[in-house]
Amino acid sequence: MRYREQQKDKLLRDLCKIIVQRIEGNPDSYIREAIRWNNEAQKVHGSTGFIQEWDKILHSTWKGIRDVLSGKTERSRWLRKSCPFQGIITDDERLLLLLKSRGRKATELAQFKKRCHIE
């Protein structure tokens, strides 16, 4: 994997870590929402590889879903690109991770977190 691809994958893995932490508290609700989102995507885009694969995963267990979101396999990397749970991450959280991935200093991140009320 090239350096730029590695950086993008690391950012997606970091996003998925937040997603997993958030889902842990109420997986059934989030999974239902992801299934709804995936069904809507299928209506718009048809049955693409991503959509079909996520449909199978979303109808498995929370452990199976979590393994895909946090996995290090090529399949996990591929699926994270179309994660149906990304809507539960706020824009502020995305921006914070992007700043962090670009090597911003801890003080800049702390100031940003304070401005955006992110813990």
The reply to whether 67 and 20 lie within a common domain is: yes
Segments forming the whole domain that contains residue 118: 89-119
The reply to whether 67 and 97 lie within a common domain is: no
The reply to whether 73 and 95 lie within a common domain is: no
> pLDDT (tens digit, 0 to 9) for every residue of the chain, 119 residues total?
687 788 888 888 989 999 999 999 899 999 999 999 999 999 998 888 889 999 999 999 999 999 999 999 999 999 998 999 988 888 878 877 777 777 766 566 677 677 777 66
- pTM of the entire structure? 0.76
CA atoms within 13 A on the CB side of 7: 10
Nearest C-alpha neighbor of 8 from the set 103, 86, 109, 77: 77
- For residue 52, how far is the Cα from the chain centroid? 18
The reply to whether 63 and 109 lie within a common domain is: no
The reply to whether 100 and 79 lie within a common domain is: no
Give me the number of domains the chain comprises: 2
Q: CA 49 → CA 38, 45, 54, 59, 60, distances in Å?
A: 12, 11, 8, 16, 17
The reply to whether 54 and 32 lie within a common domain is: yes
